[in-house]
Amino acid sequence: MLKISQRAVALPASPIRKLVPFAEKAKKIGRKVYHLNIGQPDVQTPETFWKAIQNHNLKVLEYTHSAGLESYRKKLSQYYQKHNISVSYEDIIITVGGSEALFFAMFTCMNPNEEIIIPEPFYTNYNAFAQIAGVKVVPVSSKIEEGFKLPPISEFEKRITDKTKAILIANPGNPTGYIYTREELEQLKDLVLKYDLFLISDEVYREFIYDDKQYVSVMHLKGVEDRTILVDSVSKRYSACGARIGAMVCKNKEIIQCALKMGQARLCAPMLEQIACEAAIDTPQSYFDSVTQDYVARRNVVLEGLSRIPNVIYNVPSGAFYLMAKFPIESSEHFCQWLLEHFEYNNETVMLAPAGGFYATPDAGKNEVRIAYVLEVNELKKAMTCLQKGLEQYLQQTSTK
């Protein structure tokens, strides 16, 4: 009997998207669904982006260089300079979203059966990327009760073996919104030097930092330039998730050259979107100030809503637009599906992301959810009311069984 590959079968389904059929069914019967399950903001993409598409004078939509348009990479290097990240355009490969940059980082730095250490909870697709690369994810658990701060370095050191090749972090974090301090990054720097490891950092949310916290990049660290890789994307920066433009940034020429070979295999990133992203670099700071202020207001609505619900534990994020919440339930996956299948309040319900998929440790996060505060304030208020009513009803039903 003809069978597909074990690699394909073994890939985990996205916990963010697996509930989509239940949401679609709820909508078909006329129910409004508040989507707090996915990082798709309702923020408008800046005018600079759209004008570049509207005003282009292309006659042929050609291939670009596999590393990306040189003009875009040069302008992107200037953008990084504003964040005190000193890189040349030759240190940058434009990728098909931040996801491809992560693929390139794993495939260039790691062999099959080697190990990568990642603080959990983490962006769920890290698991999938690692499995495709044949790499084993070794988690180090952070705790919601501690705000998901970096676990003690001793916990990382315990997990280092002769197969360990890299450490991967997200800063600001998805799904937690946590921002690593310089001291924490310096500790990681010392560790990767001690054990000769790569340090990969997913920093796609750098524009959205609150509470006077400071953004510190791995590219700010001294003495590890040959082993640090920055993963970036325009998806959240310009609210342009569909553009599928990211970047891999690294000063190690050998890594860039090897990643470029992979880039040649997919020919190039989309040309028109690169033109738009190049123009978007000129987006005024007022745009980001306004968006950040909006996210703070949205975050506070969610925090206020959660504070009204008894026995719920949650973290206060200082970046990105996610937070984690722990509910007094056994299975967040069951609860999230129940909200879509069996619950309504004023013919409305809410869609959340069960947190189990953001962990590599078995059974971790099974009573947690990720909340993406990507809707405008009034919609979020209604969504939080739905969540409160839904949890109350769910607990009543489950306690009587």
Q: Which residues pair with 354 in a beta bridge?
A: 369
**What's the predicted TM-score (pTM) here?**
0.95
For the segment 115-127, what is each residue's pLDDT rounded down to a tens digit?
999 999 999 999 9
Q: What is the pLDDT of residue 91?
A: 98
What is the CATH number that goes with domain 47-280? 3.40.640.10
**Nearest CA among 201, 200, 202, 294 for reference residue 239:** 294
Sign of CA dihedral 79, 83, 84, 85: negative
Say which residue the tokens 């940034």 belong to.
249
6-44+286-399: what CATH class?
alpha beta
For the chain, domain boundaries: 6-44+286-399, 47-280
Taking phi over 0 as left and psi of -120 to 50 as alpha, with beta for the rest, 396 belongs to alpha
Sign of CA dihedral 346, 347, 348, 351: positive
For the segment 221-241, what is each residue's pLDDT rounded down to a tens digit?
999 999 999 999 999 999 999
3-state secondary structure 204-260: CCCCCECCCCCCCCHHHCCCCCCCEEEEEECCCCCCCHHHCCEEEECCCHHHHHHHH
Q: How confident is the model at residue 302 (pLDDT cuts 50, 70, 90)?
A: very high
Rounded to the nearest 10 degrees, what angle do helices 97-109 and 125-133 cross at? 40
The dihedral formed by the CA atoms of 302, 308, 311 and 312, expressed in degrees to the nearest 10:
0
Q: What is the pLDDT of residue 13?
A: 74
